[in-house]
Chain A
Amino acid sequence: MTRGTGPTPKISLRNVGKEFTVRPSKEQPEGSTLTALEGITLDVAAGEFITLVGPSGSGKTTLLDLLAGLTRPDTGQVLVDGKEITGPGRDRAVVFQQYALFPWRTAAANVAFGLEGPGSDGRRLSRKERAEKAREYLDLVGLSGFEDRYPHELSGGMKQRVAIARSLAYEPDILLMDEPFAALDAQTREQLQEELLRIWRSTGKTIIFITHGIDEAVYLGQRVAVLSSRPGRLKQVVDIDLGDRSGDGDVRSDAVFVQHRHKVWSLLHEEVRKAQKAGHAKIRPDGSAPDEAPQLGKGQLSKGQLSKERAA
């Protein structure tokens, strides 16, 4: 299923499974468990760009949370550089669909956010060094001159560029992206896809990219991992070889591209149908899914929310 790449893969998922406890409700006073992921095994090589597709509720975001260290798996192991993940770390960065920029900070201050506090070598950067770095990374994402803008003064595409710059600024090895371009219009999306490829080539990051779009998955990924409907299993990993993509040509109408696209589409289509029949919907952050049991309302913020889920 996976290809052996080098001695230690950058990221290694070994038989990873994740369950959520559904809170007891009127209909189900006992509560129940929801298996979001089951038996995921996948190796990702250093510097690889892998995209992840799957029907709604197949646990894509859950998998990303596991990789980010925001939750722990119930079974199996998630390894980075051969070491098990114990929590969030500066070797990994997450880019969210809704940008998650801090609205009270300017673009530059947002990018500098991850640079405050001790770095990986325990050294603190001075204010000047942070500003310098922020400018450098805003420049990398093509936002020079927007340092002092607040998020509400930026367009969606620009906000996502800032978010990407923020993730890159503290120099993680791995970039975890959760449908980062889904909220953007088609033109901006295409533009950002190209830019992401450019950044990936110039920085050599390992990228795991979740998407709903088959085109996007095939266009960006060196491999496309297709997840099954819930419980999410790895259905198949499709190798994508589009040849040299750095040119200006319309890769998407290429025969090879269409072929790959069709392959992923057929794999996914089956699962989407299954998911629809079962009425699966997106798993909520508190670990419940709307289709599994009626819920009490939006989970409110509390200190140990993430760890409580795990303990429950």
Chain B
Amino acid sequence: MTAPTLTKATGGAPAAPPAAAIPAAGTGQIPPPRATRRLASLIRAGARTAGRGIWASGAILLFLLLWEFGPTYLASASTRVFLPPLHEVLRALGSLIAKGQLQDHLAASLTRSAIGFGIAVVAAVALGLLVAWYRSLDRFLNPLLEVFRNTAALALLPVFTLLLGIGETSKISIVAYAAFFPVLLNTIAGVRTVDPLLIRAARSLGLSNFRLFQKVILPSAVPTIFTGIRMAGTSSILVLIAAEMVGAKAGLGYLIVNAQSSFLIPDMYAGILTVALLGLLVNYLLVAVERHFSRWRTAVGSQSN
């Protein structure tokens, strides 16, 4: 995949470095031979990374180019109204930021999803630990949890709106609901899959049930729990935007729908772009957190047996 860019880059590296890769590296000085060689290899490495970077972002760039020029040159005039080129969207985004509107909507959405997400994580981890620990509770609750889990959160949106109104409560609740199940299921799975040998080892050291839980079961379940939290993060944003589209006075979902109905099409796309970037950012952060807590898991497979 990277081969073509790579050969091109390394081949021309010392004499004529590819323009994009090394901006003005090594110009204006005459370094001794060894340093030259080191510089050359540095340049080559830089070119390789840059080449790889260009290749990796190629699809995105193509997409953005299509967005910019497609509407102007390919689409009919009526379509162009509903699909403005990228620069118009970015201009709309800029003016939304300048007017402080975007920040307000973003803050509204973030507050709701953070509160709902937080409630869900705390509740789901607590319940998950209980369910995993007490078998009878699991047998009792499991059928009901299965029913709720398989009911799409958005299908329940009208119910939340009817019971809790169109204010903050209903939105926070539906976010919490949507985020609850991934965390719950992963917590249960995490506790269940603790290596029984570790339990035996800890028991042989005379640990009480509580200490066993705190020192063995919980740490060993943490990576799995964080996988659930990451999944919950994605779904909480998804559900929140939908909820804000149905009935709200602020938030990114509201921004998108309101812009559409006010025929501010570039504003609408600016809202969508913000949602996409927010989703990426949240996922990136949660993946980083998850990785941090799972470091020890590398090669854990070779550890048993």
Interface on A for B, CB 8 Å cutoff?
A: 68-70, 87-90, 92-94, 96, 98-105, 113-114, 116-117, 150-152, 159, 170, 183, 285, 299-303, 306
| B187 CB to nearest chain A CB (Å) | 14
For residue B35, CB closer than 8 A to chain A, the reply is no
Main secondary structure of the interface of A (DSSP, over half): loop
List, in ascending order, chain B residues with CB within 8 A of A92's CB: 204
List, in ascending order, chain A residues with CB within 8 A of B201's CB: 94, 96, 100
List, in ascending order, chain A residues with CB within 8 A of B195's CB: 100
Contact with A along B124-152 (1 / 0, CB 8 A): 00000000011100000000000000000
What are the 4 closest A-B residue pairs judged by CB atoms, nearest first? A100-B201, A152-B299, A94-B204, A88-B206
Pick the interface stretch among B58-66, B87-95, B212-220, B266-274. B212-220
List, in ascending order, chain B residues with CB within 8 A of A116's CB: 215
Within 8 A of A (CB), among B179-221: 192, 194-207, 209, 211, 215-216, 219-220
The CA-CA distance from A98 to B192 in the complex, in Å, is 20
Establish whether residues B296 and A285, one from each chain, have CB atoms under 8 Å apart when the complex forms.
no
Q: Which of these, A87, A99, A105, A299, contacts B206 with CB under 8 Å? A: A87
List, in ascending order, chain B residues with CB within 8 A of A68's CB: 204
Q: Which of these, A70, A101, A183, contacts B203 with CB under 8 Å? A: A70
Establish whether residues A152 and B300, one from each chain, have CB atoms under 8 Å apart when the complex forms.
yes
Establish whether residues A100 and B192, one from each chain, have CB atoms under 8 Å apart when the complex forms.
no
List, in ascending order, chain A residues with CB within 8 A of B299's CB: 152
Q: Which of these, B204, B211, B295, B304, contacts A70 with CB under 8 Å? A: B204
| A132 CB to nearest chain B CB (Å) | 20
Contacts A100-B198, A117-B211 aside, 12 further interface pairs with beta carbons under 8 A come to A90-B206, A94-B201, A96-B201, A100-B197, A103-B303, A105-B296, A113-B205, A116-B215, A285-B196, A301-B196, A303-B133, A303-B134
List, in ascending order, chain A residues with CB within 8 A of B220's CB: 102-104
The CA-CA distance from A102 to B304 in the complex, in Å, is 11
For residue B302, CB closer than 8 A to chain A, the reply is yes
Range of interface residues on B (Cβ < 8 Å): 35 or more
For residue B298, CB closer than 8 A to chain A, the reply is yes
Establish whether residues B198 and A102, one from each chain, have CB atoms under 8 Å apart when the complex forms.
yes
| B193 CB to nearest chain A CB (Å) | 9
Given contacts A100-B198, A103-B303, A306-B203, contact A150 B135 (CB under 8 A): no
Establish whether residues B206 and A98, one from each chain, have CB atoms under 8 Å apart when the complex forms.
no
List, in ascending order, chain B residues with CB within 8 A of A100's CB: 195, 197-198, 200-201
Establish whether residues A183 and B204, one from each chain, have CB atoms under 8 Å apart when the complex forms.
no
| A183 CB to nearest chain B CB (Å) | 7
The CA-CA distance from A306 to B296 in the complex, in Å, is 29
Nearest to B201 among chain A residues (CB) is A100
The CA-CA distance from A98 to B197 in the complex, in Å, is 8
List, in ascending order, chain A residues with CB within 8 A of B209's CB: 303
The CA-CA distance from A152 to B300 in the complex, in Å, is 6
21 contacts between A and B (CB under 8 A): A69-B204, A88-B204, A93-B205, A94-B200, A96-B200, A98-B305, A102-B198, A102-B216, A103-B303, A105-B296, A113-B202, A151-B303, A152-B296, A152-B298, A152-B299, A183-B305, A301-B194, A303-B134, A303-B135, A303-B209, A306-B203
For residue B297, CB closer than 8 A to chain A, the reply is yes
The CA-CA distance from A88 to B211 in the complex, in Å, is 14
List, in ascending order, chain B residues with CB within 8 A of A104's CB: 219-220, 222, 296
List, in ascending order, chain A residues with CB within 8 A of B199's CB: 301
Given contacts A116-B215, A300-B192, A301-B196, contact A103 B300 (CB under 8 A): yes
Nearest to B300 among chain A residues (CB) is A103
Establish whether residues B296 and A302, one from each chain, have CB atoms under 8 Å apart when the complex forms.
no
List, in ascending order, chain A residues with CB within 8 A of B134's CB: 303
Nearest to A104 among chain B residues (CB) is B296
List, in ascending order, chain B residues with CB within 8 A of A301's CB: 192, 194, 196, 199
Q: Which of B134, B192, B203 has the most CB of A within 10 A?
A: B203
List, in ascending order, chain B residues with CB within 8 A of A101's CB: 303
The CA-CA distance from A99 to B304 in the complex, in Å, is 8
The CA-CA distance from A183 to B201 in the complex, in Å, is 17
Contact with A along B205-245 (1 / 0, CB 8 A): 11101010001100110100000000000000000000000
Nearest to A172 among chain B residues (CB) is B205
Establish whether residues B302 and A152, one from each chain, have CB atoms under 8 Å apart when the complex forms.
yes
Establish whether residues B303 and A152, one from each chain, have CB atoms under 8 Å apart when the complex forms.
yes
Within 8 A of A (CB), among B275-305: 295-300, 302-305
The CA-CA distance from A92 to B205 in the complex, in Å, is 8
Establish whether residues B205 and A88, one from each chain, have CB atoms under 8 Å apart when the complex forms.
yes
List, in ascending order, chain A residues with CB within 8 A of B298's CB: 152
Q: Which of B134, B206, B211, B298 has the most CB of A within 10 A?
A: B206
The CA-CA distance from A105 to B211 in the complex, in Å, is 16
Q: Which of these, B135, B295, B304, contacts A98 with CB under 8 Å? A: B304
Nearest to A152 among chain B residues (CB) is B299
Q: Which of A150, A300, A301 has the most CB of B within 10 A?
A: A301
The CA-CA distance from A105 to B200 in the complex, in Å, is 17
| A175 CB to nearest chain B CB (Å) | 11
The CA-CA distance from A68 to B303 in the complex, in Å, is 24
Nearest to B304 among chain A residues (CB) is A98
